[in-house]
Structure 1
Amino acid sequence: MKTLNYNLLFKGVLFDLIGMLSMAIPVVGPFLDLAWAPYAAKQMGEMYPGRNGKIASIIVFIEEILPFTDIIPSFTLMWIYTYLMSSQPERNTRVIPIRIND
């Protein structure tokens, strides 16, 4: 069973809100998206490592760079997909070998 990582959810909601704030600034907002899109893509890749994280970082970059798509909560949707919808087992577990000397 997966443990829900609420820190990632909180961080994702915060990043979604920051991405949506650019819509509130009429003239400067679209130019802020040019700086925010690469940063958001980098953060998505760091928050969700692996193949799904790479795909999500490309999607969030495109979503943030295109006008009028800032309303899509891509970080929150990725958290929902990762922790609530995905049926793959969690792969962040490590096996630590223990050697017993007799």
Structure 2
Amino acid sequence: MNEKYKKLLASIVLDAIGFIPFLPFDIFWAPVSGYIMTKMYKGKEGKIAGFISFIEEILPFDFIPTFTIMWVYSYVINKRKNETLIEN
């Protein structure tokens, strides 16, 4: 399994952890998820995603798969954008 799909698997697992509906856990998990996001995805996009992940996880009802969305952005959407820049 290459690095890209390892990151996808990790994203799915981290999103599943974030779906645990237990407020004291969310208080602990929110800063951890934000930190992990910034380490998994570098640069400006990673920092923005880390902030969004923190906000989403600190809220009582978190149901957005933030890590998986960031993976799709990084490896599907952004890849197409970079391929278009190379072709032009």
What TM-score do the two structures reach when normalised by structure 1? 0.74
Specify whether residues 47 and 8 from structure 1 end up closer, same or farther in structure 2 by C-alpha distance, changes over 3 A only. same
* Contact 1:4/1:83 (<8 A) preserved: no
Q: For 1:66 and 1:18, how far apart are their aligned partners in 2?
A: 15
Residue 18 (structure 1) aligns with = 17
**Which amino acid counterpart does residue 18 of structure 2 have in structure 1?**
G
**Which amino acid counterpart does residue 9 of structure 2 have in structure 1?**
F
* Contact 1:45/1:56 (<8 A) preserved: yes
What TM-score do the two structures reach when normalised by structure 2? 0.85
Structure 2: gaps (5+ residues): 84-88
Q: For 1:52 and 1:4, how far apart are their aligned partners in 2?
A: 19
Give the Å deviation of 1:71.
1.1
Identity of aligned residues (%): 44
Q: Does 1:52 align with 2:49?
A: no
Give the Å deviation of 1:46.
0.3
Residue 70 (structure 2) aligns with = 78
**Which amino acid counterpart does residue 35 of structure 2 have in structure 1?**
K
Q: For 1:48 and 1:73, how far apart are their aligned partners in 2?
A: 15
Q: For 2:45 and 2:32, how far apart are their aligned partners in 1?
A: 18
Higher helix content, 1 or 2: 2
Give the Å deviation of 1:4.
7.3
Question: Aligned pairs, how many?
Answer: 80
Q: Which runs of 4+ in 1 moved over 6 A?
A: none
Structure 1: gaps (5+ residues): 24-28, 90-102
RMSD between aligned residues = 1.5
